[in-house]
Amino acid sequence: MFLEIKKLSIKIENKNILRNLNLNINEGEVHAIMGPNGSGKSTLANVLAGKEDYEILEGEVTFKNKNLFELNIEERAQEGMFLAFQYPVEIPGVNITPFLHSAINSKRNRFNQKEIDNLSFAKLLKSKASDLGIDIEMLKRSVNTGFSGGEKKRYEILQMSILNPDLAILDETDSGLDIDALKIVTEGVNKLKTKSNSFLIITHYQKLLDYIKPDFVHVMNNGSIVKSGGSEIASEIEKDGFQQFQ
């Protein structure tokens, strides 16, 4: 099993946010989690990535046969977990290119691989950017600084394609995107999909799933997964809303 979440219960500031949550993801699978606001979807993403303000009440998570909770944020990232943020934060003065260059090398260092030199990295970045239809000029800017909502999301996908994660978690990547931006982002995801990597896509709307075909759809409510199935669930939600699962 690639990612295995067993009976996970999580508390944040004295509030139970996840309750007895179970989820298994295998290599090459695309999973979608849907649910109403406040159902705990984003918390799940942040718990997996390692944000440090939650308390584990019960349960365990293994990622590539390792106990996830024994790894800190950067170790999880270096092991191949990537979180595309719902609200990517601005880091003024930090140029995109050296930022991503350091990121990719930190991953290589963990596995005692040779670092990528400046020139090869610049070439890699350029080619990935043009694949995603990102203007080269954008690569001269500071991380997320002054980006529009669409640019931020596109830049998240660019980072994902550079870091080439084993498990990519997309936290409401579709929110705030118009149809054109949504197409670019989802095309990027589809291009990255291989038999050996997996995706966990968190979304509030069914629209995203018109472009990315998930193998499994889960409905989350009140901190637990209440229903799992194929893409037909997404259509049910579109028709009748989340009410039916509560």
Partner 1 sequence: MNTETLDKLDSYSKNKYKYGFVTDIDSDKPKKGLNEETIKFISTKKNEPEWMLDWRLNSFSKWKKIKEPKWSNLNFPKIDYQDIYYYSAPKGFEKKPKDLSEVDPKLIETYNKLGIPLEEQKVLAGVAVDVVFDSVSVATTYKGQLEKLGIIFCSISEAIQKHPELVKKYLGSVIPPGDHSFSALNSAVFTDGSFVYIPENVKCPMELSTYFRINSENTGQFERTLIIADKGSYVSYLEGCTAPKRDENQLHAANVELIALEDAEIKYSTVQNWYPGDEEGKGGIYNFVTKRGLCAGNNSKISWTQVETGSAITWKYPSCILKGDNSIGEFYSVAITNNYQQADTGTKMTHIGKNTKSKIISKGISLGKSQNTYRGEVSFLRKADKARNYTQCDSLLVGNKCGAHTVPYIESKNNSAVIEHEASTSKINEDQLYYCRQRGLSHEEAVSLIVNGFCKQVLQELPMEFAVEAQKLVSISLEGSVG
Interface residues with partner 1 (CB under 8 A)?
49-53, 72-74, 77-78, 82-83, 85, 88-89, 91-94, 99-100, 102-104, 106-107, 110, 142-143, 159, 163
Q: Which is nearer to partner 1, 104 or 202 (CB)?
A: 104
Check: CB of residue 198 under 8 Å from CB of residue 31: yes
In angstroms, the CA 158 to CA 175 distance is: 17
Helix 118-131 × helix 149-163 angle, to 10°:
130
- Where helices occur in 24-141 by DSSP H, the ranges are 41-49, 73-78, 96-110, 118-131
Q: Which is nearer to partner 1, 63 or 82 (CB)?
A: 82
Look at residues 219, 225, 224 and name the one whose alpha carbon lies nearest to residue 244: 219
Walk across the sheet containing 15-25 and list its strands: 15-25, 3-12, 55-63, 66-67
Smallest gap from residue 118 Cβ to partner 1 (A): 13
Q: Which is nearer to partner 1, 107 or 217 (CB)?
A: 107
Q: Which is nearer to partner 1, 15 or 239 (CB)?
A: 15
- For β-strands 216-221 and 30-34, DSSP reports them as parallel
Smallest gap from residue 182 Cβ to partner 1 (A): 23
Per-position b or e across 60-75, b if 16+ CB within 10 A of its CB: ebebeeeebeebeeee
Smallest gap from residue 206 Cβ to partner 1 (A): 27
Task: List the structure tokens of 41.
Answer: 């979807």
Smallest gap from residue 48 Cβ to partner 1 (A): 10
Smallest gap from residue 31 Cβ to partner 1 (A): 20
Q: Which is nearer to partner 1, 110 or 207 (CB)?
A: 110
Q: Which is nearer to partner 1, 106 or 222 (CB)?
A: 106
Smallest gap from residue 175 Cβ to partner 1 (A): 17
Q: Which is nearer to partner 1, 108 or 123 (CB)?
A: 108
Residue 9 pairs with which residues in a beta bridge?
58
Smallest gap from residue 98 Cβ to partner 1 (A): 8
> How does DSSP classify residue 113?
P
- For β-strands 15-25 and 216-221, DSSP reports them as unpaired
